Amino acid sequence: MKDKLYIGLLAGLTAPFIIVALIYLLRFNYLSVTAFIEQAFVLKVHLKIVAIGVFFANLGLFYLFLRFNKNNASKGVILSVFLYFFIMLFASL
């Protein structure tokens, strides 16, 4: 695997969706996907669910990229964390 910034950025942007999908499948599989999303918005926990996904997914990716000396990919993961931060900041206003 090449050490490119865009690889880390792409991985950092997509991995939280996988974590949120795992949260849905492991904990809330009795709800439909639309009901899960609606309940998250009604209970105002949608940003918290995304924050959990961003934290755990990108922490793991960052450690993995650093472990294999992919420093530019690690920078891409950090960049994706900042992008999620600003998106969530503006979504909470």
Summarize the confidence of residues 43-64 as an average pLDDT.
Answer: 93
Q: Map out the domains of the chain as residue ranges.
A: 5-91
- pLDDT of 1 > 80? The answer is no
Query: Considering the entire predicted model, what is its pTM?
Result: 0.86
How many other CB atoms sit within 10 Å of the CB of residue 32? 10
pLDDT-based confidence at residue 12 (cuts at 50, 70, 90): very high
| 55-93 per-position pLDDT tens digit | 999 999 999 999 999 999 999 999 999 999 999 999 888
